[in-house]
Structure 1
């Protein structure tokens, strides 16, 4: 049953139904505020805050072009795809938008939320930016290029021979180019989670891999006898005559880690570091306060000043292992021991605040990407702010920006369907937050409101509709089953416009409206927000907060 049917039941319970059907709804503002206790004290002078990019920004990859750093993350089934950030100092970041912005670059028709774009790698070489990534279920691995990282990026260069996920592109100093990636091992897997890392040589002029060059470089992980699981996310670097291979191992959950291997010759076997993993949090007390967990999937960068740093994903958990904010981007310095990179000594906690890189440059006009902040959009620009994304791919936009408002076309598509709903969201970046929006009261047979969405099977829709001339508020919940109305209200003190508020705090979520006297009134408090956590909902994404309109 479609989600729209649950709203239709509200209409069916009435004696008469108007034939009036609004085709669009106007929204006038959206405000988001983060209120996390761990961010209450700002970093001291010369220090920075982890995560550097909070919220659902996983699988970070980074490159440097002169004094400038560029970072990308996975985007799964959200459009536009692959957010890209710029920094001068590795700490403060500014959004450049997205890499994949057209349906040709990013065809996401009927894709589940946690499919789509996996684990991009970005590299700068000889005046050109290269991004290699996987569009699972659609086209597999591909490359796009650009002279300007802000775009436009090229049409995809397809790599049909390269299977699996998490591709890396490496430019050797002899002019040869290689692609490493995760894929199935030779023959039948020996156990659940048995994967392998493969290496190809790539011909940049022909824009094809050299077919006979395919070679297995890691079977299973750092020690096959111990049955390591989910070796993935390879990155190759050449440093002081060594070829280093860094990979994630253990799966992207609580057992996640980063491991290192090396060789002097890419035609020879890679030797694993005896001190692996070089980053993990799985060996710490699970009951520790304010835990940072699931650390891994790292990419290294050397500053112009000579320091080495690593960006990687990790999560900020509540109730030991639950998190609604998704996998976030963190930064740590890299030390070297016997010519092996160490991101964090085992047994140590990832710090929330630490000394900044020794970089004199400053990122101008940086945006708030971490710490507590207030973000507001009054829809006064000619284009959407970069924080907004939609689900999947549409041939034509369902929204219009005009006269300091955004108008959503009320599509007959629910949030539980694999079409593109009339939904725009921005990431939940704090465990404790408030989000609000102001909108016109929808007409009969139309609903609109505010959403907390983890996936098509896990979300809340706090909306309004009009029945027999009266405004009806409702809260729709999807929790691994058919979406259902869990609460309704018909307040008599609503003004000419609606203001809806969602407040979240770890595993609880509350819903309010603001009445005509500007007082916040509860509709439903302390509902279960843990259903939006990765632990319960599954998948690889975090929660988005946004606006939605629907024809019922």
Structure 2
């Protein structure tokens, strides 16, 4: 690291936080990410220095805003965009397989946010742009693969009604999946910035400019952000958003993946930060295969008051949630909209109670599941389950979940009146119980330990002596190991309960949830 510089670590949002969008209001910065099938949706974070972020809520936290009950994994909420204009925050996004493109508004980024205001055109990844003349534009992705392009039209921002017909304004650089379009006006020029190449090894960020918001846009001939041509621990870079701070310094937030040597990552796509420079021709530069985007960054300065903000990142969870508060701490998420009365912090004070639903971890439905994102390759998570009144076929436990096709769980269940602790591995859509031990206990400690290559699933009856009951491959939980449908999510570690085909009769109570990293 250089002397007389400020250092920070990437990713600034570790774990499954893809498709970042960033907005500035005064000296405050706010950032949001895709959330897909998880609810509440669109986590929102606050920072004053861009490098250290604290979650302040979710944008979509009510059933009236979003209904994910029938959404398969990697459907739901795609690529939101956050904008701030004249005292109001705007979040525009797509509910894939649902209501389509819409936006919500709030004067307070921590909420509450409005119910959805629909917009009529576009496939995915819509963005808002407020021009100097008072006009407001929606720019969105349309089409698929090599036909993927950006359309744009003017709207009435009060109602979402289109004031013009959609026009194709951008076809990218000739590669597939021109996505995540953002329109900016900088020093009198309009810049159209998009991702290209698909969100994997060929991912890149490209840009064009024009004197008119509808173009035609002059394409800069090279990506302004990519690592597709070099060996580097961070890959898949792209889907960026730009922001300028009060010093006049420009920054980019974007997604990337920390691949292990074998070319996968259970963490999924994460959020990274890098400075933006402007070349002599007036183009923004981030990192076109130079390798300047690194895990450890050194910059001349960051915005904000460093002495107050350079502490450990509060977006990273480590320690114990004891469930003593009236609400789940920030960072917790449910799998789709939870069923009414399926969870409680009040039913037994100091415990998280889950009531198993008929849906299980292989099903698309309202699963009784509450979890946190895995944020490090090497971590362990543990909990204490009390599950006394179990009916036959019911179960509860601790799970490492990618989606319906890939998850590992260690659980307590009852079969023919007898209690069993078991481990189930689901890989590529095939589930198998790999081990079961009979127990005579209503209280069981569970632990999942992750390494770069494997997950280990353990239990204990006293919290001291641990039994390793099963192990599974880390690669099988990575998004790269999908079968039929691309996976856009990383691993979430969760507490769960299920009646496996019927509502459970017993209540699963969890005393705490603890994470240890490294």
TM above 0.5, yes or no, is yes
Q: Deviations over 1:242-268 (max 9, x none)?
A: 111110000001110000110011243
Residues 50-109 of structure 1 deviation map (CA, whole Å, 9 limit, x = unaligned): 000000000000000001000000000110000000011111111111000111111112
Match of 2:191 among 237, 244, 250: 244
Q: TM-score, normalised by structure 1?
A: 0.85
Q: Which residue of 1 aligns with 2:169?
A: 217
Secondary structure of the equivalent of 1:531?
helix
CA distance in 2, matches of 1:153, 1:395: 22
- The residue number in structure 2 matching 1:9 is none
Give the match for residue 372 of structure 2: 426
The answer to whether structure 1 residue 311 and structure 2 residue 265 are counterparts is no
TM-score (norm 2): 0.90
Correspondence for 2:106: 146
Does residue 284 of structure 1 match 2:230? yes
Secondary structure of the 2:287 match is coil
Count of residues in correspondence between the two structures: 489
Contact 1:49–1:370 (CA under 8 A) maintained in structure 2: no
Q: Map Cα deviations across residues 421-463 of structure 1 (whole Å, 9 max, x no partner).
A: 1111110111111011111144242211100000011111210
Unaligned runs of 5+ in 2: 501-518
Alpha carbons of 1:366 and 1:496: their partners in 2 closer, same or farther (altered >3 Å)? farther
Per the alignment, residue 36 of structure 1 pairs with none
Give the deviation of 1:210 after TM superposition: 1.4
Number of the residue aligned with 2:492: 544
Match of 1:84 in 2: 44
Q: Does the 8 A contact of 1:452 with 1:460 survive in 2?
A: yes
Aligned to 2:287: 344
Q: CA 1:411–1:205 in structure 2 vs 1: closer, same or farther (change >3 Å)?
A: closer
In the alignment, the residues of structure 2 paired with residue 481 and residue 265 of structure 1 have an alpha-carbon distance, to the nearest angstrom, of: 49
Q: What SS class does the counterpart of residue 236 from structure 2 fall into? A: strand
Determine the structure 2 residue equivalent to 1:384: 328
In 1, the alpha carbon distance for the partners of 2:271 and 2:4 equals 21
- Counterparts in 2 of 1:360 and 1:422: CA distance versus 1, 3 Å: closer
**Distance in 2 between residues matched to 1:268 and 1:121, nearest whole Å:** 21
Equivalent position to 2:213, from 247, 261, 266: 266
Q: Secondary structure at the match of 2:146?
A: coil
Give the alignment partner of residue 134 of structure 2, picking from 158, 163, 175.
175
- Does the 8 Å CA contact 1:292/1:349 hold for their aligned counterparts? no
- Aligned position for 2:243: 301
Q: How does 1:132-531 map to 2 (within 5 A)?
A: 132-159=92-119, 161-184=120-143, 192-212=145-165, 214-219=166-171, 221-222=172-173, 224=174, 228-274=175-221, 276-285=222-231, 291-337=233-279, 338-348=281-291, 350-356=293-299, 357-362=301-306, 368-369=313-314, 374-394=318-338, 396-402=340-346, 403-442=349-388, 443-445=390-392, 446-467=394-415, 470-490=418-438, 497-516=443-462, 518-525=464-471, 527-531=472-476
Deviation of 1:198 (Å): 0.7
Residues 183 and 517 (structure 1), Cα distance of their counterparts in 2 relative to 1, 3 Å cut: closer
2:84 — aligned with what? Answer: 124
Provide the aligned C-alpha RMSD in A: 2.2
1:331/1:348 Cα in 2 relative to 1: closer, same or farther (>3 Å)? same
8 Å Cα contact 1:103/1:395 also seen in 2: no
